[in-house]
């Protein structure tokens, strides 16, 4: 049987957050500005195949920084959540706040229950 040393929970959370921050720091930043006619998302992206900014739903945008595969999984789940909610209730019931809350819950669960936390920072914005 392998020896598992005791690690205090506070140290474990500190180590995980430091690991995630280092991974995010390797990525390129995203900037969002509120302007008169809507939102402006800007990102440096040298790749033609990887997309850091996209639309989740009508009037709702998504941007991610960090490990591409992880924020792409989050983006896809956000699109699915928005489509399901819009179909089940109504298009006006889909808001950036509900999607951001779902992301917060998912990231919290991943951070506390999985061995490796997601190395991402995301931004969700809505017009109107």
Query: What structural domains does the chain harbor?
Result: 9-126 (3.60.20.10)
pLDDT tens by residue, 93-112:
999 999 999 999 999 999 88
CA 13 to chain centre: 19
pLDDT for residue 81: 95
The model's pLDDT over 15-34, given as tens digits with 9 standing for 90+, comes to 888 988 888 888 788 899 98
Res 29: pLDDT: 84
pTM of the model: 0.85
Report CA torsion sign: 52, 121, 25, 34: positive
The pLDDT assigned to 76 comes to 95
Give mean pLDDT, residues 27-44: 88
1 pLDDT tier (thresholds 50, 70, 90): low
Cross-strand pairs, 34: 39
């Amino acid at each position: 049987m392998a020896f598992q040393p005791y690690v205090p929970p506070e140290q474990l959370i500190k180590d995980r957050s430091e690991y995630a921050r280092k991974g995010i720091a390797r990525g390129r930043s995203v900037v969002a500005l509120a302007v008169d006619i809507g939102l402006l998302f800007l990102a440096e992206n040298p790749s033609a195949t990887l997309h850091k900014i996209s639309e989740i739903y009508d009037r709702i945008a998504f941007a991610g920084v960090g490990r591409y595969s992880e924020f792409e999984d989050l983006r896809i789940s956000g699109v699915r959540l928005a489509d399901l909610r819009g179909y089940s209730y109504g298009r006006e019931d889909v808001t950036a706040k509900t999607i951001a809350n779902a992301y917060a819950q998912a990231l919290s669960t991943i951070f506390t229950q999985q061995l490796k936390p997601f190395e991402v920072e995301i931004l969700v914005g809505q017009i109107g």
